[in-house]
Structure 1
Amino acid sequence: MEQITTIKLKVHQFIHILLPILISQVALFSMSFFDTAMSGQASSVDLAGVAIGASLWAPASTGLGGILIAITPIVGHLLGAKRRNEVPYNVLQGIYLALAIAFLLIVAGAMSLDGLLSLMNLEPQVRFIARGYLLAIAFGIPPYFVHQVLRSFIDALGYTRITMLITLLSLPINICLNYIFIFGKFGLPAFGGIGAGIATSMTYYCLMLIALFIIHRHPYFKEFALFKRLPPLSWKTWLKQLKIGIPIGFSIFFETGMFCAVTLLMSRFNTVTIAAHQGAMNFASMIYMIPLSFSMALTILVGFEVGARRYHDARQYSLIGLAFSFSIALLTALLLFLFKEQVAWLYSKEWDVILLAKQFLIYAIFFQFSDALATPIQGILRGYKDVNLPFITSLISYWFIALPIGYFLAAYTSFGAFGFWIGLISGITTNACCLLLRLRYILRRQVAV
């Protein structure tokens, strides 16, 4: 990356960084989409089982994986400050930290999985599939977290097209493996929803290996000699990364965890409701990849400019990103309203599930506008390394506003399962308002400087 002086060229650079990230995020999430959609084609029981399993895996993977996103602003600031020689050391410490987090998660999951599933009022077949799905995923946790660090390193250098290529190469692998293991091809048994977990775990290894190969062979990355010398573990560096990463990771965890808690609370309803909810939520989450991509692009660009102390440029990138994000949200909301029935058909052949999913998708439309503000602003603030207040607002908005409101409406009013979605909309909107006020304060403070 380099300094850009005009608005027109800034827009061009923003799009240049954004588009590969967007394609990567959609492709990466498509793995979850194909897990869910292809399991749904097997049966509603398989769909419900994968829904429960994915709801336990998602907050762990995104929350703990979010800690490792700290590599992006760290590397961005080092590049902006022209301290390239410090980049390899920080990335390798990030990989060590990723493996440590993976080990702790596997141990914690082994100790708590059966207990968590027993707390839910699940049909025996649904519980069996959810457990098998998570056990299969466990084998892919170490490469998943290592890939997070490698991807953050590549993105921070501005080579977002490389991460796009890695993800696009892995997606057809995931689809083929899903087809083989879910439906039982080439002499293998049909594992159903459990097969989706096997396929995803194997795909994580492919993601990591492709990233390592490219970093080893690409001329630009070879300049960093990332693996030329392996330094000893540094607790001091870990603490610096965790100081930035933990607020980021927990902010993501509070959001994804709240969505997943809703799915788990849906276990009080029947299998059709769980399946319809998961289908609608899965598609809404795929649309969420758009503002999330804006967030990641803004972290890279704002972090680079802040590292070079070009605060005016950082402000301009922030406003460009927010304008683009909200404009696209208007378009996606319209398309979702017009094609909600076609979307519901993607997840099930059962008419009861389709009818209910269409209703859930109406509520999903309202997510678009708040997400279009909240998520990019989070990325901007990470570029400034301002992560503590967003952590607090996420906690309050999602767990002290969204979840209580949703539970009350679902349990004590005629809204039923739809009450949870109303609660989600309330929490996301509250968080968006809080983050907007924080960004306004940060930008005004920089102007004063």
Structure 2
Amino acid sequence: MNQTSSVRQKLRQLLIILLPILVTQLALYAMSFFDTTMAGHVSPDDLAGVAIGVSIWTPVNTGLSGILLALTPIISQLAGAKEKDKVPFKVIQGILLAVFLSIVIIVCGIFLLDPILDHMDLESHVRDVARRFLIAIFIGIIPLFVYNVLRCFIDALGQTRVSMMITLCALPINVGLNYLLIFGKFGFPRLGGVGAGYASAITYWCIVFIAVFVIHRMKPFADYHIFKRLYGVSFAAWKEQLKIGVPIGFSIFFETSIFAAVTLLMSEFDTATIAAHQSALNFASFLYMVPLSIAMALTIAVGFEVGAKRLKDAKTYSYLGISIAVIMGMLCAIGLFIFNEQVASIYTNDSHVLQLTKHFLIYAIFFQLSDAVAAPIQGALRGYKDVNITFILAFVSYWIIGLPSGIVLAKFTSFGAFGYWIGLISGLAFGAVCLSVRLARVQKKDIELQQVI
């Protein structure tokens, strides 16, 4: 990143960071998108099985990956403060932490996967697809988490275009493997929805090897000599990352796990309803990549300016990002309303599932508007390393307000399964308002403190 002096320069700088992140996030999520849609064209049972598997894996993946996101503001602030020599140690510690977290997940999965699935009232084939899909995903957990760390390093330097190119290389690999393994083409076994799990795991191994090669050989990453020296585990460095990362991870976990919880609660409904819910949620999550990408760009830009003690510039970046997110959120909501049936038809040929998906997608419109405010504010706060209040607000918004109100509406009104979505929308709206207040207070406090100093 470079220092900027005008709003126009800041907008240009933010877009240079943002657009590759957006392409990267859309490409990463496209893997899950293709997993779901391609499985849906095998059978409703395969779609439902992958839906259950994704719903269990997503909160675990995003929550623990969120812990690793602590590296972005750490490296970004070091870059702003021109303390380049400290970067390699931080990155290696992030990699070691990623491996440790991966092993913890695998061990927990061995003991908890069957009990979790046994607690769900699933049809036998749906349960089998979900279980085998998750076992396949386990193969790629370590490379996925290590790649997340390497990507944080790349992005924190403002080189988001490089992450974009790595991910774009991986996407056709994933889609091609899906085609071969889900449908059994060219002599490969026909694995149905389970094939999507193996395809994703193999793809994760590919992208981590590409990232290591790029960091080792390409400038400016090669100038940091990340892999030149071996460092032992530093619990002090882990503590620093966990102090920032755990609140981030739990904030993301509370958000993603609430959707998983709703999917699990929907096991009381029929397979068509589960499939429709997951299809609509999959597309809503795909659109969420827009505000999420803006949030990640703001973490980099705000962190860089905070590290350089340019707090007014950090504030300007924050509100530029929020404005872009709101505009994009409105455009996505309008597009989803107009092309409701076309979007639903992407996921299924079954007429009953199609009608249910169209209904769920109407509620997804309101997700876009709340996320357009909440997500970029969370990204800006991470740039300030202010993460604890966000963690508390996420818990209250989703688990104290969103889920209980959703359960009441689903079980005691005529809304049925749609009641869960209405409850979640209420929690999202509450969180967006509270986060807006928090950002204003943090910015005011930091600027006042700088003036005193």
Superposition TM-score, scaled by structure 1 size: 0.99
Counterparts of residues 308-327 of structure 1 (less than 5 Å):
308-327=308-327
Distance 1:52 1:358 in 2: 20
Kindly indicate whether residue 183 of structure 2 is the aligned counterpart of residue 172 of structure 1: no
* Residue number in structure 1 paired with 2:415: 415
* Residue number in structure 2 paired with 1:32: 32
Structure 2 counterpart of 1:420, which letter?
A: Y
Provide, for residues 276-307 of structure 1, a one-character-per-residue CA deviation record: whole Å limited to 9, x for no partner: 01110000000000000000000000000001
Provide, for residues 374-431 of structure 1, a one-character-per-residue CA deviation record: whole Å limited to 9, x for no partner: 0000000000000000000001110111111111111121110000000110111111
* Residue number in structure 2 paired with 1:106: 106
Distance 1:251 1:90 in 2: 23
Q: CA deviation at 1:187?
A: 1.3
Distance 1:190 1:344 in 2: 26
Distance 1:208 1:430 in 2: 38
* Residue number in structure 1 paired with 2:82: 82
* Residue number in structure 2 paired with 1:140: 140
Structure 1 counterpart of 2:437, which letter?
A: L
* Residue number in structure 2 paired with 1:448: 448
Structure 2 counterpart of 1:29, which letter?
A: Y
Q: CA deviation at 1:442?
A: 1.1
Superposition TM-score, scaled by structure 2 size: 0.98
Kindly indicate whether residue 343 of structure 2 is the aligned counterpart of residue 331 of structure 1: no
Runs of 4+ in 1 over 6 A off after TM superposition: none
* Residue number in structure 1 paired with 2:127: 127
* Residue number in structure 1 paired with 2:70: 70
* Residue number in structure 1 paired with 2:375: 375
Counterparts of residues 12-31 of structure 1 (less than 5 Å):
12-31=12-31
SS in 2 for 1:306: helix
SS in 2 for 1:223: helix
Provide, for residues 38-74 of structure 1, a one-character-per-residue CA deviation record: whole Å limited to 9, x for no partner: 0001111000000000000000000001000000000
Q: CA deviation at 1:2?
A: 1.2
SS in 2 for 1:301: helix
Counterparts of residues 234-253 of structure 1 (less than 5 Å):
234-253=234-253
SS in 1 for 2:70: helix
Structure 2: runs of 5 or more not aligned: none
SS in 2 for 1:346: helix
* Residue number in structure 1 paired with 2:197: 197
Structure 1: runs of 5 or more not aligned: none
Distance 1:65 1:330 in 2: 28
* Residue number in structure 2 paired with 1:269: 269
Provide, for residues 2-25 of structure 1, a one-character-per-residue CA deviation record: whole Å limited to 9, x for no partner: 110011111000000000000000
Structure 2 counterpart of 1:306, which letter?
A: V
Distance 2:324 2:170 in 1: 29
SS in 2 for 1:82: coil
Kindly indicate whether residue 425 of structure 2 is the aligned counterpart of residue 425 of structure 1: yes
Q: CA deviation at 1:216?
A: 1.2
Provide, for residues 135-183 of structure 1, a one-character-per-residue CA deviation record: whole Å limited to 9, x for no partner: 0000000000000000000000000000000000000000000000000
Structure 2 counterpart of 1:348, which letter?
A: T
Structure 2 counterpart of 1:89, which letter?
A: F
Distance 2:183 2:165 in 1: 28
SS in 2 for 1:96: helix
Structure 1 counterpart of 2:364, which letter?
A: A
* Residue number in structure 1 paired with 2:155: 155
Q: CA deviation at 1:447?
A: 3.3
Distance 2:200 2:312 in 1: 43
Q: What number of residue pairs does the alignment pair up?
A: 449
Q: CA deviation at 1:371?
A: 0.3
Distance 2:240 2:328 in 1: 36
Distance 1:106 1:376 in 2: 32
Q: CA deviation at 1:219?
A: 2.2
Q: CA deviation at 1:186?
A: 2.0
* Residue number in structure 1 paired with 2:291: 291
* Residue number in structure 2 paired with 1:345: 345
* Residue number in structure 1 paired with 2:356: 356
Distance 2:111 2:345 in 1: 38
Q: CA deviation at 1:82?
A: 1.2
SS in 2 for 1:110: helix
Distance 1:56 1:304 in 2: 35
Q: CA deviation at 1:188?
A: 1.9
Q: CA deviation at 1:445?
A: 1.5
Distance 1:76 1:254 in 2: 26
Q: CA deviation at 1:200?
A: 0.6
Distance 1:122 1:363 in 2: 25
Q: CA deviation at 1:341?
A: 0.3
Structure 2 counterpart of 1:340, which letter?
A: N
Distance 2:448 2:247 in 1: 27
* Residue number in structure 2 paired with 1:405: 405
Structure 2 counterpart of 1:345, which letter?
A: S
Distance 2:244 2:448 in 1: 25
Q: CA deviation at 1:80?
A: 1.1
Kindly indicate whether residue 65 of structure 2 is the aligned counterpart of residue 57 of structure 1: no
Distance 2:202 2:169 in 1: 13
Q: CA deviation at 1:111?
A: 0.4
Q: CA RMSD in A?
A: 0.6
Distance 1:289 1:263 in 2: 20
* Residue number in structure 1 paired with 2:306: 306
Provide, for residues 246-301 of structure 1, a one-character-per-residue CA deviation record: whole Å limited to 9, x for no partner: 00000000000101111111111000000101110000000000000000000000
Distance 1:444 1:233 in 2: 38
Kindly indicate whether residue 365 of structure 2 is the aligned counterpart of residue 365 of structure 1: yes
* Residue number in structure 2 paired with 1:5: 5
SS in 2 for 1:226: coil
* Residue number in structure 2 paired with 1:435: 435
* Residue number in structure 2 paired with 1:280: 280
Structure 2 counterpart of 1:261, which letter?
A: A
Structure 2 counterpart of 1:410, which letter?
A: A
Q: CA deviation at 1:81?
A: 1.2
Structure 2 counterpart of 1:406, which letter?
A: G
Identity %: 57
Task: Single out whichever of 211-220 and 311-320 deviates more from structure 2.
Answer: 211-220
Distance 2:221 2:79 in 1: 14
Distance 2:287 2:96 in 1: 33
